[in-house]
Each structure stands twice: as C-alpha cells, then as structure tokens.
Structure 1
C-alpha cells in the first residue's frame, strides 16, 4: 500500500521502486537505506532485497484505487530516475499519474542529467511536481540547470541535507525551495547563515520557501534530537507552497 507520510511537505508516499545507490555527498547517511535495513529485518513485504534497487510492478495500481485527491511523494525509498530503472517502467509510472489527475505527484531525483533526455520525447503531466536534490555546490547546484530544461508545471528543489553554503545560484523558473538539515546520529551540521542565504535568494527570485527541519544540530550549533531542534527559523516556521495550482 501507499503509506501516510511523516514528511512535512507531502501526504502519502508511493514506492513503485525501492533501493538505490549512493552518488554524491548527500547520500552518505541515507535515511532510506537505514529504513530499508530495518524493514528487511522485520520481514516487511517489498524489502526482501533490503536496499538493492527493486522494481515493484504490483504497486503501480495503488494510486488508481484512491479517489480522494492526495499528494504523493513518489519513491521516498528510491530514485525513479536511477540509471537501472528502464524507461519502460518509468513510462508505466507516468501512465498511472496521467490516469489519476485528481492526485498530485512530487518526484525528486539526484539523477538530474536523465531528466531532459527522458522528457525530450515525452510530456511531463500537469499533476507532477518535478524536483532535484541540492546538497552542495559541486554536485547539487548543477542539477538545477537540468531540471530547468524540463517543461514541468512545477519545478522544485530539495536542499536537504544542506551541507555547505551554496553561494549565488540561479532560481529562475524554479517554483519551490525546501531546505532542511540532516537528521540521525551521524548528522552533519547545517549553519544558520547557509540557510539564510538560500532563503534570501528564494525570496529575491520569487520562490516559495519551506523550511523542513534543523535536523540533528540546532541553530545554536548544539547536537540534540531532531524534535528538540524543531523547525523555527528567524522566530517562525516557513511553510509556503508553490502559488501555481494543479488543475484536476
């Protein structure tokens, strides 16, 4: 089944694939890999291969069985555009998406270079929010240019975990920016000035800004549990979503 999500910016998760491989510093302490090991140990269905990339054709029908309009995060436990996921399977995922216009689908990838290639001969459905992960300057920021090449109704960035100051970067044609620090006992710290720099540029370039969490390190530079550090930045929470509405 698709499952209710604890991720602050979505409603449910839908994982037609599970498992992945690490390709950049943002992957170092992958929460999905840790969760997959736990689920495998518990004997959970779909995690027989632990965190090895696995396609789940039987899960494709899950959104078709839900009439209530729902926001789905696609592949919280994988990357739909992983190099070992064939185009034919991605096509099946998008076929389901097009068949369920009442739902909104948030798709996030680190394999941004595959996006313009895939969509060169395909149309991105209007109920898709397409995003890339941006954790640093070397690996993350270049992904934004690949995303910009796709004619997606909404394009977004997941700047999580934010591992360094991103400097100046172009947010033209980007509609939404999510920022978060890393969680878990091996979490790397996020500095307040890095977060402030992203927010300043999002505001200046007209992007909706969503601050997800401080993670394992607080704004004061003290390491503690994620819940204690909370989500407050500059005296408030920031929960903006893209202004553009998805048409049913």
Structure 2
C-alpha cells in the first residue's frame, strides 16, 4: 500500500516496483537498499526478494482508491526506468497517473536517456513531475539535457547526495531544484560553497530552490547530528516548490 513519507518534499510514496541496481556514485550508499534489507528481514510484503528488482502490479491501483489530493513520490524504493521494467509496465504506471488528476506524482530517475526515449512519442500527464538525479559532474549533470527533451509541465533536479561542486548549470526549462547532503554512517561530506553556488544559480535563472538537508555533515565540515539546524542554509529554510497539479 502507499505509505506516508518523511521526505520533506513529498507527502506519500507509491512503489509499483521495488529494488534496483547501482549505476553511478550517487548509488553507493543507497538508503533504499538498506531499507529493503530491513523490510525483507521483517517479512514485509513486496520485499521477499530484498533489493532485487521486483515488479508489483498489485500495487498499480493504489492511488485510484485515494480521494484526498496527495503528492506522491513514485518509486522511492526503485527506479521506474530501470532496464528491467518494460515499456508496457511503465505505460501502465503513467495510465494510473493520468487517471488521478487530483494527485501530483513526482517521478525521479537516474536513467535519463531511457526517460527521454520513452516519452519521445508519448505525452506526459500534466500531473506528473519528471526529475533526474544530479550528484556530480560526470554522471549527474549530463542527465539535465536528457530531461530537457521531455515535454513535462514540471521538470526537476534532485541534487542529492551532492558529492562535488557541479559547476555552471544550464537550468533552462528546469522548474525546481532540490539539494541535499548524504546521511547515514558512511555519509560523504557536502561543502557549503557547493550548495550556495547552486542556490545562487537558481535565483539568477528563476528556478525554485528547495534545501532538503545537510545530512551527516554540517556546513563547518564536521560530522554532526541531523537534528541541529539540519535544514538551515544562510540562517533559513528553503522550501520553494512548484504549484501542485490539483490547483494548477
């Protein structure tokens, strides 16, 4: 079933697939992999295979049963555009999205090329926000150009975990940028100037900016508790988001 989410930029998660495989440095300490192992040990339905990619068609109808307008993060525990998910199943997911215009669906992928290929001859539902992960220059930044090829009402970047200074960004036709540091016992540090540079570019290019967390390290370069000013940047929180589809 759909789950309420503690992720700051969404309300609930919907996982019609679970499990994934690593393709870039951002995957190294995958929170979903660790969580899937715990859920398997707990005997949670859907996680019998742990973090091995698993298609769960019985979950497709979940958003259809919820009347209250909800912001869903699609596949928080997987990647919808994984090579193991066929186009027909992806199309079924987007058919459900299209049939739920009162909900907003946030779809995030590291497989940006497949995202662009899938929508080359398909329309994107207006209530689907499409995003790509941008953790570094080599793997992450090139995904932005692929995302720009897709005619979505909202295109967004999840710059999390931010692993280095990603340099000058072309944010043309990008509507929203989320930035966050890595959490967990093996978290890699994120530097203040990396975050500030992205925030400044968002401001200059008219893109909404959301600062999710420092994670396991603080702006001072020291390990720290997430509880203490974990979302403050320049003394404030940054919670900008695009207008929700149900109110567009």
Is the structural similarity TM-score above 0.5? yes
The Cα of 1:222 is off from its aligned counterpart by 1.1
Structure 2 unaligned regions, length at least 5: none
> 2: distance between equivalents of 1:146 and 1:244?
24
Q: Which runs of 5+ in 1 are unaligned?
A: none
Q: Distance between the aligned counterparts of 1:181 and 1:44, measured in 2?
A: 29
Equivalence for 1:242: 242
Query: CA offsets, 1:30-82, max 9 Å, x none?
Result: 00000000000111110000000000000001000001100000000000000
1:242 Cα offset (Å): 1.8
The SS at the match of 2:60 is helix
Note the alpha carbon deviations across 1:215-240, whole angstroms, 9 max, x for none.
Answer: 00011111023223510000100000
Cα distance, 1:244 vs structure 2: 7.5
Normalised TM-score (structure 2): 0.98
Q: What's the TM-score once normalised by structure 1's chain length? A: 0.98
* Structure 2 residue 230 is the aligned partner of structure 1 residue 227: no
Post-superposition offset of 1:120 = 1.1
User: What RMSD over aligned residues (CA atoms) do the two structures have, in Å?
Assistant: 1.1
Q: Does the CA contact (< 8 Å) of 1:127 and 1:247 recur in 2?
A: no
Q: Which residue of 1 aligns with 2:78?
A: 78
Is the Cα contact below 8 Å between 1:136 and 1:165 reproduced in 2?
A: yes
Query: Secondary structure at 1:43's aligned position in 2?
Result: coil
SS at match of 1:73: strand
Q: Match of 2:52?
A: 52
- Per-residue CA deviations over 1:163-190 (Å, capped at 9, x if unaligned) read 0001101000000000000000000000
Query: 1:70-102 deviations in whole A, cap 9, x for unaligned?
Result: 000000000000011000100110110011100
Match of 2:26 in 1: 26
- Whole-Å Cα distance in 1 between the matches of residues 246 and 134 of structure 2? 24
Return the alpha-carbon distance in structure 2 between the equivalents of residues 96 and 61 of structure 1: 7
1:202 aligns with 2:202: yes
- Change in 2 beyond 3 A, CA 1:245/1:90: closer
Q: Determine the C-alpha separation between the residues in 1 that align with 2:181 and 2:229.
A: 10
Asked if 1:159 is matched to 2:159, the reply is yes
Aligned match of 1:137: 137
- Which segment drifts farther, 190-199 or 219-228? 219-228
